[in-house]
Homo-oligomer: A and B are copies of this chain.
Amino acid sequence: MIIVFKPDASEQDIEHVVDRLRSLGLKSQVTKGEERIVVGVIGDERVLQGQPLSVFPGVESVTPILAPWKIVSREFQKQDSVIDVGGVSVGGDRVVVMAGPCAVEKLEITVGIAKSVAQSGARILRGGAYKPRTSPYSFQGLGQEGLEFLAAARKETGLPVVSEILDARDVGYFLEHADVIQIGARNMQNFELLKEVGAYDKPVLLKRGLSATIKEFLLSAEYIMSRGNRNVMLCERGIRTFESQYRNTLDLTAIPALKELTHLPVIVDPSHATGKWNLVAPMAKAAVAAGADGLLIEVHSNPECALCDGEESLKPSRFHDLMCDLQKVARAVGRDL
């Protein structure tokens, strides 16, 4: 922590801050520059989180030096985390494609799509049973029954299943039926839910919030990991910007930036990010080229009749073609699908 004092700060102001630091077990090093006095904090500055040092008389600014997280950081663990999802490794050499319908609708449709994406090379089945919808009048998902349909599709195809949880009270169903619990963008800072899924070792796919910084994203992962669950995957799914030509702005720079800061796998969801099926393929390829460990792609056998997000769903044949293209891009960057 670096504390910069205003030009008119008094000796007393500085002493006051140094005293507080001392009382917290921290040492100070005072540097008198030409225009400012600066106090450097020696010791674990994390004890200063939430300490309102900037409100102390004479203080101009306070800048932390250390990252506020521990377990998620590359410093804590140098080698990449590889998460085992029902036998599929996420975070290793192979790029893992998770595909399926936005919302689970009917058993046959779900199983049909699952078979189709499996044949095209997807290795995990995605599908929403509980749907977070902006409007209370939109289809809210089948709930528990949806999870059962997904489990049935898994039985049929062997594909492990990822599905989104909305309510901490439903964790039991997810432990039973899902292989990965997804925390959606809107719940990235639903801290009670993070704590809840942190209490088990079931893999968690944590999506970045619509306006979450990389720092906040990693701190939400830290919430889960600090409770004991080490099986966390991060998912970039587009951030909110001023641009309205597409639903969100897919922030692919987050991939290499996260890889530098954390050992956790990074997944990308080009379907939700763009909101338009014809933008999904180029962004999926770009994500793999940028180093993504996996993709989350929406596929529906009949997008015109999808109950949710039909606009961004690929038809099975288009998904099949995309998988061929992705294989080539993956190899171009030294990986495999």
Contact = CB atoms under 8 A, between A and B. Distances in A.
Given A240-B211, A257-B279, A278-B260, A329 B134 contact: no
A253 B329 contact: no
Interface string A31-58: 1111110101111101001111011100
A321 interface: no
A138 B50 contact: yes
A303 interface: yes
Nearest to A243: B213
A52 B309 contact: yes
A214 B61 CA distance: 16
Nearest to A61: B65
A9 interface: no
Interface stretch (A84-92, A173-181, A283-291): A283-291
A137 to B, nearest CB: 6
Contacts of A31: 29, 31, 40, 42
A12 interface: no
B279 A256 contact: yes
Point out which of A68, A190, A308 has the most chain B C-beta atoms below 10 A from its C-beta: A190
B242 A246 contact: no
Interface string A191-231: 11000000000000000001101111001001100110000
A52 B242 contact: no
Question: Range of interface residues on chain A?
Answer: 35 or more
A4 interface: yes
A325 to B, nearest CB: 7
Contacts of A245: 213-215, 254, 257
Interface stretch (A93-101, A112-120, A150-158, A164-172): A164-172
A23 to B, nearest CB: 11
Contact of A65 (B4, B254, B303): B4
A219 B135 contact: yes
Contacts of A189: 132, 134, 186
Contact of A283 (B66, B75, B241, B290): B290
A211 B186 CA distance: 11
Nearest to A191: B132
Contact of A55 (B29, B65, B310, B328): B310
A286 B278 contact: no
A27 to B, nearest CB: 9
Contact of A249 (B75, B253, B273, B329): B253
The 3 lowest CB-CB distance pairs between A and B, nearest first, are: A52-B310, A211-B211, A289-B289
Interface of A: 2, 4, 7, 20, 29, 31-36, 38, 40-44, 46, 49-52, 54-56, 61, 63, 65-66, 68-69, 75, 132-140, 166-169, 186-187, 189-192, 210-211, 213-216, 219, 222-223, 226-227, 239-246, 249-257, 260, 273-274, 276-279, 282-283, 285-291, 303-304, 306-311, 313, 325, 328-329, 331-333
